[in-house]
Structure 1
Amino acid sequence: MRKIRIPHYVIAGLTILASSATAPAFAQLGATGRAAGASAGDVVQKAQDAFVQYRETIDAQGIVVREYVDSSGAVYAVSWRGPAMPDIHSLLGAYFETFRQGANASVGDAGLHATRVEQGDLVVENRVRLREFSGRAWLASALPPGVMSTDIQ
């Protein structure tokens, strides 16, 4: 994969754009509970397998967000896909500032269509291709036993 340098102001602009998206708020990484912006009909409880439980929400813009929850209901990971970026600030909650600092620190490492920020316990991956946005974020130390980062889709 060829690395392309992206100017600092482009990364800063994307961070601001992502934090000001108009999509409804979802459950925050590390929080316990249901999706903050979802009504009862919007959340579908699913099990990928015996170890992986998630709640899936689809908003009016067609953005699908999965909140991966442990046995206590705490969100240890989130993933998204759709025609626009979800409200990353709401998804990451208290970890948004850590993400922002990591994104600013990795300015020269960003790819053209994909970025990865690994800052302490937080890992965030984001991809865009032909107006299709997708990504995932997780807390490495919070992954339940038997769950791998590859299970977060």
Structure 2
Amino acid sequence: MMTSKFGIAVVAAASFVAAAPAYAALGSAPTYPVTASSTSAGAASPGGAAVARFAANASANAATPAYTVSQTTLPSGTVVNEYVTAGNTVFALSWQGPTMPPLKTLLATYFPTYVQALTDAHNTQGGGYGAAVVRQTGLVVETGGHMGSFVGRAYLPQALPQGLSADDIK
């Protein structure tokens, strides 16, 4: 039986991220918890990742930011930004670095939807190389890059705070 490179990549990615610590992610609480001692750049968080939290104000009231950005540097050197509402719900993610982040952990309950959309696209459009893009009403995931330099973002379009566009997720 012949196995496609795409199928091998999906299985490898899923097995690679299965070992990653799981807290919660897109659509729920931040994956990498930020504590009082880890609010400055470079502080260590559980799992050895460095975490920084930045307030971003998408509203006119500077006292109450519409969201914050929690920036985590994974042990691999990949930087993950989690965009978190004032209600402590992750509505978007972005990443950049030498390795892919643990998408199964970061996408959490949306991971099966992501994998199915990639599989469907592969089956209808044939094989190929390049960026993996999923654009659905309730989920957008864009990944790209090459070995040693990966970038991407994922967000829930319906959960973007007022005044924030998808272009702001970097």
- TM range, normalised to the smaller chain? 0.7 to 0.9
Quote the residue 2:158 is aligned against. 141
- Normalising by structure 2, we get a TM-score of 0.74
SS in 2 for 1:84: coil
Cα 1:71–1:109 shift into 2, 3 Å = farther
Question: Would you identify which runs of 4 or more consecutive aligned residues in structure 1 move more than 6 Å?
Answer: none
Could you tell me how far 1:113 is from its partner in structure 2?
A: 2.6
Runs of 5+ unmatched residues, structure 1: 1-7
2:50 alignment partner in structure 1: 42
Q: Does 1:151 align with 2:168?
A: yes
Task: Point out the structure with max Rg over C-alpha.
Answer: 2
Q: Which has the higher contact order (CA 8 A, sep 6+)?
A: 1
Q: How much identity, in percent, do the aligned residues show?
A: 33
Q: Does 1:13 align with 2:28?
A: no
Q: What are the within-5 Å matches in structure 2 for residues 65-104 of structure 1?
A: 65-104=80-119
Q: 1:82 to 1:105 in 2, by over 3 A?
A: same
Scaled by the length of structure 1, the TM-score of the pair is 0.81
> Where do 5+ consecutive residues of structure 2 fail to align?
34-44, 59-66
More moved, 18-27 vs 130-139 = 18-27
> After superposition, where does 1:53-64 map in structure 2 within 5 Å?
53-64=68-79
Quick one: distance in 2 between partners of 1:92 and 1:55? 16
CA contact (8 A) 1:84 1:133 kept: yes
Tell me how far apart the structure 1 counterparts of residues 127 and 157 of structure 2 sit (CA, whole Å). Answer: 21
Partner of 1:125: 142
User: 1:101-131, CA deviations, whole angstroms, 9 ceiling, x for partnerless residues?
Assistant: 1101111277633121123401100001352
